Amino acid sequence: MRNTRVDAYEDTPRDVVAVGNEYAPHQRLPAHRHCRGQLLYAATGVLTVTTPQGSWVVPPERAIWIPPGVDHEVRMGGRVSTRSAYVRAASAAAAGLPEHCRVIAVSPLLRELLIAAVDLPAHYDLDGRDGRIMALILDEIRTLPMLPLNTPLARTPRLARLCRALLEAPTLALPVDAAAAKAGMSRRHFTRRFRAETGMSFAAWRQQACLQVALARLGAGEPITRVALDLGYASPSAFGAVFRRVLGVPPSRYFAA
């Protein structure tokens, strides 16, 4: 498999095309968009996808669905290997695929389908095995569970700036009053606007932002203790409890799984 640009395939007369790419540690793909929807699967490594609506972290063996026409930036947490399925807008709508970005669990079946799909010719046989592989990819995307790995961005410019700054350097040590002051708002106005625009309290959003960065750092091989303390957790066990509550398993088992 070699790195492939999807641009050449945008007009390919097939509902689904698949490509694979390898990225260097910390490589960044500037904001761009595709005419097709994209299922971006992190075969290895951790990547972060940011759109005007929010930020999503994609750990190894998970994927993100990016609808057609959505501007998105991709950042690699370390060396990353991806497999992507690009779906025509009409086909995505007909298949009932999400209208917003979603991180999804990847079943063993979908993983094997994506591995096989990237080696198929662009003009694969629609009525043969190749066509059935691509059709089954659509079925799998639609049925897989969503994962809680999104940190939404506020719409008000000063709140959006605060969100982006915190996503770059999140910490539990920033209290609500200090965040409100940074945004130039009273505490009451800040908490109301923040919840209205993100759907979350500031405390919950701050924790989600920390978890997102923690996943990227842990995926790059950093020790749990260092990550937990850097983000402002009182102890690694406190961090582990939050991690388990959100993702179902402790951090030591998450990447092993």
- Considering the segment(s) 6-147 as one domain, its CATH architecture is Sandwich (2.60)
Q: Which residue has the tokens 């959003």?
A: 205
DSSP state of 153: P
Work out the pLDDT band at 7, boundaries 50, 70, 90.
Answer: low
Share of the chain above pLDDT 70, in %: 96
* Residue 252: predicted pLDDT: 83
Domain 152-254 part of CATH 1.25.40.390: no
Query: Tell me: the pLDDT tens digits for 121-173?
Result: 989 999 999 999 999 999 999 888 888 888 999 999 999 999 999 988 889 98
H/E segment holding residue 47: strand 47-51
User: What is the radius of gyration, based on Cα positions, of the chain?
Assistant: 19
Q: What is the pTM of this model?
A: 0.85
Percentage helix, strand, coil for the chain under 3-state DSSP, each rounded to 5:
40, 25, 35
Q: What is the pLDDT of residue 256?
A: 66
Q: How far is CA 234 from the centre of its chain?
A: 27
3-state secondary structure of 134: helix
The pLDDT tens digits of the residues spanning 210-242 come to 998 898 888 878 899 999 999 999 999 999 998
Q: Which of 192, 183, 101, 197 is nearest to 141 (CA)?
A: 101
Q: Give the pLDDT confidence score for residue 9 in this predicted structure.
A: 72
Which tokens is 131 given? Answer: 């066509």
pLDDT at 98 over 50: yes
pLDDT computed for residue 221 by the predictor:
83
User: What residue segments make up the domains of the chain, in order of their start?
Assistant: 6-147, 152-254
pLDDT value at 120 more than 70:
yes
**Residue corresponding to tokens 């951090």:** 251
User: What is the average pLDDT score of the chain?
Assistant: 90
What is the reported pLDDT for 127?
93
Distance in angstroms (rounded) separating the CA atoms of residues 163 and 183: 10
The pLDDT score that the predictor gives to residue 254 is 79
Distance CA 14, CA 123 (A): 7
